[in-house]
């Protein structure tokens, strides 16, 4: 099924997050619906007593009014840890993109760099947008995706899904697209296969895209390619984590942690 205008339409994010500009950019796409989820886990808010919801709702409303003014959004507060709360909301339906900007300090950064991100990537059946390094992702009023790098893993079904997603994303924003295949064990056969995989994706989706073959470990190769292409977004396929992990999927967390730009995993 070809990509539709609602491929990235319904999104959720958590507070406190920075920058809100990326959330706004997604939410302003035609047909989009934004849901903002604030989690109040007992482990963090145990001392809040009966005022937890009142205080949390007030803070959430203030954040929204200041950073997302003019956007219609559904606001939810969950008495749960972030990972299961996000998974439950996605499973309930109507969510096709989770935004998890991991910008923050102290406890927030520690939590998001660990099990929360891993659990959401493992259990959520929709696309997940993540950004880790605050110092490498500038806070801008209107983020622009001028350059998008898409990793092709060499698995037909997964590559088709990734190519379909990135074609929709790049075309809707006028972005320059680069398809990248990483060869960890370089030899003539592996390099030829990588080139064939990229050409297959380009032909199947009629993509106007550059092609790059990278040699080395997956996380470093993707990091270096994103820097060379001045990428505003790196797109990777995460597949099904319950299957035996392949190279790209097994390195997914390292890719996200080390990427110099936001990562969209589908």
| pLDDT tens profile 65-94 | 777 777 888 888 787 888 888 888 888 888
Is 127 among the domain residues? yes
Residues 154 and 208 reside in one and the same domain: yes
pLDDT of 130 higher than 90: no
| Domain final residue, candidates 68, 102, 135 | 135
Q: Which of 227, 169, 161 is nearest to 25 (CA)?
A: 169
Q: How many other C-beta atoms are found inside a 10 Å radius of the C-beta of residue 253?
A: 15
Residues 40 and 109 reside in one and the same domain: yes
Q: How many other C-beta atoms are found inside a 10 Å radius of the C-beta of residue 104?
A: 17
Residues 122 and 28 reside in one and the same domain: yes
Higher pLDDT, 42 or 235: 235
Q: What is the pLDDT of residue 11?
A: 52
Is 94 among the domain residues? yes
Q: What is the pLDDT of residue 221?
A: 93
Q: What is the pLDDT of residue 135?
A: 38
Q: How many residues does the chain have?
A: 266
Residues 26 and 75 reside in one and the same domain: yes
Higher pLDDT, 187 or 40: 187
Confidence category of residue 103, pLDDT binned at 50, 70, 90: very low
Is 1 among the domain residues? no
Q: For 10-57, write each residue's pLDDT tens digit.
A: 455 544 445 578 888 888 888 888 888 877 766 555 555 556 556 666
pLDDT of 3 higher than 60: no
Residues 15 and 127 reside in one and the same domain: yes
Residues 117 and 162 reside in one and the same domain: no
Q: What CATH number should be reported for the domain holding residue 76? A: 3.40.50.620
The count of structural domains within the chain is 2
Residues 99 and 154 reside in one and the same domain: no
Q: What is the pLDDT of residue 94?
A: 83
Higher pLDDT, 151 or 49: 151
pLDDT more than 70, % of the chain: 70
Is 237 among the domain residues? yes
Is 186 among the domain residues? yes
Is 246 among the domain residues? yes
Q: What is the pLDDT of residue 75?
A: 81
Residues 168 and 120 reside in one and the same domain: no
Cis peptide before 16 (omega within 30 of 0): yes
What interhelical angle do 156-171 and 188-204 show, nearest 10? 50
pLDDT of 177 higher than 50: yes
| Domain final residue, candidates 135, 161, 180 | 135
Residue-number span of the structural domain to which 98 is assigned = 10-135
Residues 129 and 151 reside in one and the same domain: no
Residues 235 and 153 reside in one and the same domain: yes
Which of 83-97, 99-113, 209-223 is most confident?
A: 209-223
Residues 118 and 190 reside in one and the same domain: no
**Residue 211: both structure tokens together:** 């092609």
Q: What is the rounded distance in angstroms from the CA atom of residue 213 to the CA atom of residue 16? A: 38
| Domain final residue, candidates 135, 157, 187 | 135
Is 130 among the domain residues? yes
Q: What is the pLDDT of residue 138?
A: 54
Is 165 among the domain residues? yes
Q: What is the rounded distance in angstroms from the CA atom of residue 55 to the CA atom of residue 60? A: 9
Residues 109 and 89 reside in one and the same domain: yes
pLDDT of 247 higher than 60: no
Q: What is the pLDDT of residue 64?
A: 67
């Amino acid at each position: 099924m070809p990509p539709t205008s609602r491929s990235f339409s319904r999104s959720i994010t958590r507070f406190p997050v920075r920058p809100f500009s990326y959330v706004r950019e997604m939410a302003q796409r035609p047909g989009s619906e934004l849901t903002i989820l604030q989690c109040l886990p007992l482990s963090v808010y145990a001392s809040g007593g009966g005022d937890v919801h009142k205080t949390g709702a007030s803070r959430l409303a203030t954040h929204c009014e200041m950073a997302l003014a003019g956007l219609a959004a559904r606001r939810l507060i969950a008495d749960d840890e972030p990972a299961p709360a996000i998974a439950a909301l996605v499973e309930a339906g109507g969510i096709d993109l989770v935004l998890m900007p991991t910008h923050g300090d102290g406890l927030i950064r520690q939590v998001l760099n660990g099990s929360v991100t891993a659990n959401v990537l493992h259990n959520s059946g929709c696309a997940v947008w993540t950004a880790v390094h605050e110092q490498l992702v500038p806070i801008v009023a209107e983020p622009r995706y001028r350059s998008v790098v898409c990793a092709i893993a060499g698995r037909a079904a997964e590559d088709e899904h990734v190519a379909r997603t990135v074609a929709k994303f790049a075309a809707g924003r006028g972005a320059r697209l680069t398809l990248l295949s990483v060869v960890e064990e370089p030899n003539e056969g592996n390099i030829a296969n990588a080139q064939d995989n990229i050409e297959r994706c380009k032909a199947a989706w009629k993509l106007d895209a550059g092609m790059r073959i990278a040699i080395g470990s997956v996380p470093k190769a993707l990091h270096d390619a994103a820097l060379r292409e001045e990428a505003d977004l790196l797109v990777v396929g995460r597949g099904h984590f319950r299957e035996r992990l392949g190279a790209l999927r097994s390195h997914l967390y390292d890719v996200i942690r080390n990427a110099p730009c936001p990562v969209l995993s589908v």
